[in-house]
Amino acid sequence: MTSDAAQPDPPQPDSSQSATAQPGSPLTSEEQDEQVLALARRMLDDAREGRGDALLPLLDQGAPVAMRDSRGNTLLMLAAYHGHADLVRELAARGADVDQLNDRQQSPLAGAVFKGYDDVVSALLDAGADPDAGTPSGRDSVAFFGREEMGRLIEEKAPRA
């Protein structure tokens, strides 16, 4: 079935953002790809560095909260692994999967336990993280690294069934 209604033209990228594009000329497909990849790298770096002021507005404008790097680490995984509890909370509030495993089957919670970030562990548990997800799981990491305080926190917020 076809529609006789006129379809709007897709928005054209701003050609002023490319050093190689002539004023008023559209970006080439390669230039567009380059800009998208640069933005994705910047967003992943923002998560790693805890720059929520730069990252969160992009997500609020429609950038994917489930974006992953080449190793399968999500924005939330990078924020958690690098100790940014406030950003972890904000990403979870925007729909980030707190149990999304990376390519090595590691969970954000296990990463936060490994690094010793109590505040990140708490933020993940508050957002519903499963302490048994991943290999090793958050609980396994507690035992392996001897993080008894974190173990108590896990049992308090997510007791075994």
Q: Is residue 1 part of a domain?
A: no
Q: Is residue 96 part of a domain?
A: yes
Q: What is the Cα–Cα distance from 127 to 98, expressed in whole angstroms?
A: 7
pLDDT at 25: 74
- Token pair of 84, please? 């940014």
Q: Is residue 12 part of a domain?
A: no
Q: Is residue 22 part of a domain?
A: no
Q: Is residue 24 part of a domain?
A: no
Three-class secondary structure assignment of 69-84: CCCCCEHHHHHHHCCC
- Token pair of 88, please? 């972890």
pLDDT at 56: 98
Q: What is the Cα–Cα distance from 43 to 154, expressed in whole angstroms?
A: 30
Q: How many domains does the chain have?
A: 1
| Among candidate residues 46, 38, 151, the one with its CA nearest the CA of residue 91 | 46
Q: Is residue 25 part of a domain?
A: no
Q: Is residue 16 part of a domain?
A: no
Provide the CATH number for the domain around residue 110.
1.25.40.20
Range of the domain at 131: 30-157
* Residues 101 and 125 sit within 8 Å (Cβ to Cβ): no
Helix count (H) and strand count (E) of the chain?
8, 0
Tens digit of pLDDT at every position of the chain (161 positions): 444 444 344 444 444 444 455 566 788 999 999 999 999 999 999 999 999 999 999 999 999 999 999 999 999 999 999 999 999 999 999 999 999 999 999 999 999 999 999 999 999 999 999 999 999 999 999 999 999 999 999 999 988 87
Q: Ramachandran region of residue 9, left (φ > 0), alpha (ψ -120 to 50) or beta? A: beta
pLDDT at 16: 43
Q: Is residue 46 part of a domain?
A: yes
